[in-house]
Amino acid sequence: MTFYKQVRPILMAIEKEIGSHLEARTPLAEEVSRYILKSGGKKLRPLLFVLSSHLCGCENGEEIRLAPIFEYLHVATLLHDDVIDEAHLRRGKPTANNVWGNTIPILAGDFLLARALELAASSGLLKMVQLLAQTTSWLAQGEILEIVKTDALDLSEKEYFEIINGKTAVLIAASSRLGAVLAGAEEDKENALQKYGHRLGLAFQIIDDVLDYIGSEKEFGKPVGHDIKEGKVTLPLIYALKACTLEEKKQVKKQFERRKEEDIAAIVTLVKAKKGLELATNKAIEFVKEAKEALSIFPPHPAKEILLQIADFVIKRRY
């Protein structure tokens, strides 16, 4: 991350602010919240909010004060997701459900979601609350669609994009858009940052799904082919299947239904052979291009430079 040096002071200010809203009547709510918030993570969403605020001329500290909203919302969904996926590890650390069982993380997620919206309301900006509530409802719907479509090898590209739009892109889009809202920027700036975040979010999730086929467990915290194991069909597999003969498709169907270790390995090999990873990465590159183009309405600005670099980084990242 060549831009890391530039964003470091912002990230440190965000880190300092995160966790200052967790005091709870029940110590356990606070404990679980801190545990998940400290599980690392890139703090991408609060960072985008702060940079977008700066780009739109708001740099009075309010953007730092409100930045935790986006991390709280994000980790609230992670808490619920991990319960739903029965996940044991996240970024190499035991998940909250692994430590506390299922029930407490469900409630800690509700607690964090509520704290995020409380903090948003403290901005005095109804539009912010409105957009965040809408985003939360989309997040839940994206997740529901993903679950409904689990084990569906015939998932269409359109359905895939609906899922990743809901589960990833809407919150990233809201993070950058709301920077403009906080700054009271004109509608075209708000729309530009919405588009930037949306395309960035789609690219981000596609690359996440590509990395599932290549990342080592050590680097990425998940074994290769984890999505397939979970019955999740993602873009690389969708593209690979398009290039398959009828015979090959039948073969994949059998392997996908059995999903033993050797089946997963065979599917991973096939996806690579059919150029599923390149094709999906190309799609992500297209989205990153659109994200960067969306920022063209803004004059030169240090925050703009960083946002452009973040977009490029989404493609390059290997974790």
CB of 63 to a second copy, least distance (A): 19
Residue appearing with tokens 């704290």: 115
CB of 317 to a second copy, least distance (A): 28
Interface with a second copy (CB under 8 A): 24-26, 28-29, 77, 80, 83-84, 102-104, 106-111, 113-115, 117-118, 120-122, 124, 126, 129-130, 133-141, 143-145, 147-148, 162, 166
CB of 216 to a second copy, least distance (A): 29
User: Whole-angstrom Cα distance, residue 134 to residue 171?
Assistant: 10
Of residues 184 and 302, the one with the C-beta less far from a second copy: 184
CB of 181 to a second copy, least distance (A): 13
CB of 315 to a second copy, least distance (A): 28
Tokens of 255: 């392997």
CA–centroid distance for 20 within its chain = 23
User: Quick one: which H or E segment has residue 285?
Assistant: helix 276-294
Tokens of 92: 């190499």
Burial grade of 191 (CB within 10 A; 0-12, 13-18, 19 or more) = middle
| SS3 (DSSP) at 186 | coil
Of residues 114 and 273, the one with the C-beta less far from a second copy: 114
DSSP category for residue 299 = P
C-alpha torsion 26→61→175→52, nearest 10:
-170
Of residues 121 and 297, the one with the C-beta less far from a second copy: 121
Question: Helical H runs in 122-259?
Answer: 126-148, 157-164, 170-182, 187-214, 217-220, 226-229, 235-242, 246-258
CB of 201 to a second copy, least distance (A): 16
End-to-end alpha-carbon separation of the chain, Å?
Answer: 12
CB of 22 to a second copy, least distance (A): 10
Of residues 12 and 148, the one with the C-beta less far from a second copy: 148
